[in-house]
């Protein structure tokens, strides 16, 4: 074992000395290689962190949301619906929710007005005439707690609210455009009569029963549609997958260019390299030794590029909020949420990226060398 390690160390030593001889060429290759790993890893890390973030945020959302449909469009829940739902077995808790959209012409952005559900942290801070705003809204309108803000309702009436608080920065991914207000203010602002709700949130005692309950709901209230939490999660997944795909398609040109460049570099063997292999064989290197040396050469370049590229991507995503891809991957909006993703590395994803970058390069380095290394050692005597 000791001899094996010494042998590998000697081969790596030679490989490093050998690589240092073509500094500019190898450094250029390393740089391009690193850039590709960086781009791919950035997209993967960012979308995976976004997905995780969305799942984390939705973890506490209700299992089922019931919306009433009129002519295929979402409509208000009329009085009496809440009571009818209570009779469905398995429903633990039901709550009418009030929310709606409001276009603010000042910043040309849409806000989500919402009455916090009972028990929500922000609920305690909301009172008549007092609102709690999302971080992006606060940023755009320059609001701090204590400020007054006016909105002109769809009825033409002017409403003024005092900002009681700004929602925490951590929840910005889903609350950037949120504005929480009291039920009375909400109903007055949107002119929604008492007993009507935007939709109904249901808690289910047994999560396994969610689909059965959804089926019962469809029977009890044929004019409504149940939306399951898992469906919302799946939609988020698809959106991020789709965006990841778009970025990858855009990147595919550069990836392909690199693949051709790397393949050409790795597989093309110069006359000088062939001569060197001949010399090594003549002075006592076995074909296997030459292959091992070249393996180390490919592995050192690709591993270094992989590690540096991945670390750079990690810093880019989790330290600098993925500044390069933010607009595409986060979504299109006037109110961009500002948030820092929780650093997380998915082992499977690392392995996939490793397999598709380090492995092909190393193989591309070895194959032509193998062809050159099996030539007769006496060729060097005749050169």
Partner 1 sequence: MIKLTNIRKAYNQGRENEFWALDGINLEIEAQRVTALCGPSGSGKTTLLTIVGCLARPTSGRVHLKERDISGLPERFLTEIRRSTFGFVFQQFNLIKGLSARDNVMLPAYPLGGDWRALHDRAETLLDSLKLGHRRDARVEWLSGGEQQRVAIARAMINDPQVVIADEPTANLDTALSREFLAILENLKEQGKTILLTSHDPLVIESTVVDTVVNLRDGRLVRGA
Q: Which residues here bind partner 1, judged by CB under 8 A?
A: 2-7, 9-11, 13-14, 17-18, 21-22, 272, 276, 278-287, 289, 376-378, 380-383
Report in angstroms how near the CB of residue 2 gets to partner 1 at its nearest. Answer: 8
Query: Which residue's CB is nearer to partner 1, number 73 or number 382?
Result: 382
Report in angstroms how near the CB of residue 347 gets to partner 1 at its nearest. Answer: 34
The token pair that represents 313 in the structure block: 């991507």
Largest CA distance in the chain: 100
Report in angstroms how near the CB of residue 375 gets to partner 1 at its nearest. Answer: 11
Query: Which residue's CB is nearer to partner 1, number 160 or number 270?
Result: 270
Report in angstroms how near the CB of residue 293 gets to partner 1 at its nearest. Answer: 8
DSSP string, 200-245: EEEEES-GGGHHHHHHHHHHH-TTEEEEEHHHHHHHHHHHHHHHHH
Q: Tell me which residue of 355, 338, 331 sits closest to 47, measured CA to CA.
A: 331
Integer Cα distance of 279 and 262 in angstroms:
26
Query: Which residue's CB is nearer to partner 1, number 89 or number 382?
Result: 382
Report in angstroms how near the CB of residue 7 gets to partner 1 at its nearest. Answer: 4
Q: Tell me which residue of 132, 173, 137 sits closest to 335, measured CA to CA.
A: 137
Q: Tell me which residue of 290, 257, 280 sits closest to 367, measured CA to CA.
A: 290
Query: Which residue's CB is nearer to partner 1, number 119 or number 284?
Result: 284
Query: Which residue's CB is nearer to partner 1, number 6 or number 231?
Result: 6
Query: Which residue's CB is nearer to partner 1, number 18 or number 212?
Result: 18
| 191 backbone φψ class: left, alpha, beta (φ>0; ψ -120 to 50) | left
Report in angstroms how near the CB of residue 19 gets to partner 1 at its nearest. Answer: 10
Report in angstroms how near the CB of residue 16 gets to partner 1 at its nearest. Answer: 11
Query: Which residue's CB is nearer to partner 1, number 128 or number 376?
Result: 376
Pairing of strands 99-104, 109-114: antiparallel
- Round to the nearest angstrom and report the end-to-end CA distance of the chain: 37
Report in angstroms how near the CB of residue 364 gets to partner 1 at its nearest. Answer: 23
Q: Tell me which residue of 288, 299, 290 sits closest to 362, measured CA to CA.
A: 299
Q: Tell me which residue of 135, 159, 154 sits closest to 145, measured CA to CA.
A: 135
| 372 backbone φψ class: left, alpha, beta (φ>0; ψ -120 to 50) | alpha
Report in angstroms how near the CB of residue 297 gets to partner 1 at its nearest. Answer: 14
Three-state DSSP state, 376: coil
Query: Which residue's CB is nearer to partner 1, number 220 or number 287?
Result: 287
Pairing of strands 130-133, 178-180: antiparallel
197 secondary structure, DSSP code: B
Report in angstroms how near the CB of residue 32 gets to partner 1 at its nearest. Answer: 22
Query: Which residue's CB is nearer to partner 1, number 5 or number 249?
Result: 5
Three-state DSSP state, 361: helix
Q: Hey, how many other C-beta atoms are within 10 angstroms of the C-beta on 81?
A: 22
Query: Which residue's CB is nearer to partner 1, number 22 or number 338?
Result: 22
Burial class (CB in 10 A: 0-12, 13-18, 19+), 131: buried
């Amino acid at each position: 074992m000791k001899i094996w390690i010494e042998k590998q160390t000697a081969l790596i030593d030679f490989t490093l000395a050998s690589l240092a001889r073509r500094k500019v060429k190898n450094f250029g290759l390393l740089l391009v290689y690193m850039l590709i790993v960086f781009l791919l890893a950035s997209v993967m890390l960012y979308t995976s962190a976004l997905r995780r973030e969305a799942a984390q945020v939705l973890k506490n959302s209700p299992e089922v949301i019931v919306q009433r449909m009129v002519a295929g469009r979402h409509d208000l829940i009329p009085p009496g619906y809440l009571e009818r739902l209570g009779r469905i077995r398995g429903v633990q808790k039901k709550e009418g929710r009030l929310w709606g959209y409001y276009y603010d012409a000042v910043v040309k952005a849409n806000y989500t007005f919402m009455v916090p559900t009972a028990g929500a942290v922000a609920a305690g801070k909301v009172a008549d005439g007092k609102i709690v705003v999302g971080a992006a809204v606060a940023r755009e309108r320059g609001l701090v707690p204590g400020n007054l803000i006016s909105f002109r309702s769809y009825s033409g009436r002017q409403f003024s609210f005092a900002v009681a608080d700004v929602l925490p920065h951590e929840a910005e991914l889903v609350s950037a455009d949120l504005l929480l207000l009291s039920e009375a203010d909400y109903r007055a602002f949107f002119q929604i009569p008492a007993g009507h709700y935007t939709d109904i949130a249901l808690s289910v005692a047994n999560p396994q029963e969610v689909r059965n309950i959804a089926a019962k709901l469809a029977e009890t209230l044929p004019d409504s549609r149940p939306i399951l939490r898992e469906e919302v999660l799946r939609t988020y997944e698809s959106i991020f997958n789709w965006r990841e795909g778009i970025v990858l398609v855009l990147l595919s040109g550069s990836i392909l260019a690199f693949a051709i460049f790397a393949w050409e570099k790795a597989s093309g063997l110069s006359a000088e390299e062939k001569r060197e292999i001949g010399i090594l064989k003549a002075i006592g290197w076995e074909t296997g030794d030459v292959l091992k040396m070249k393996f180390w050469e490919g592995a050192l370049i690709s591993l270094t590029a992989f590690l540096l590229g991945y670390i750079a991507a990690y810093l880019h995503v989790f330290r600098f909020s993925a500044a390069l891809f933010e607009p595409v991957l986060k979504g299109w909006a006037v109110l961009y949420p500002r948030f820092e993703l929780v650093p997380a590395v998915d082992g499977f994803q690392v392995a996939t990226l490793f397999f598709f970058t380090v492995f092909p390069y190393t193989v591309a380095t070895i194959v032509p060398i193998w062809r050159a290394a099996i030539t007769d050692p006496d060729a060097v005597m005749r050169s």
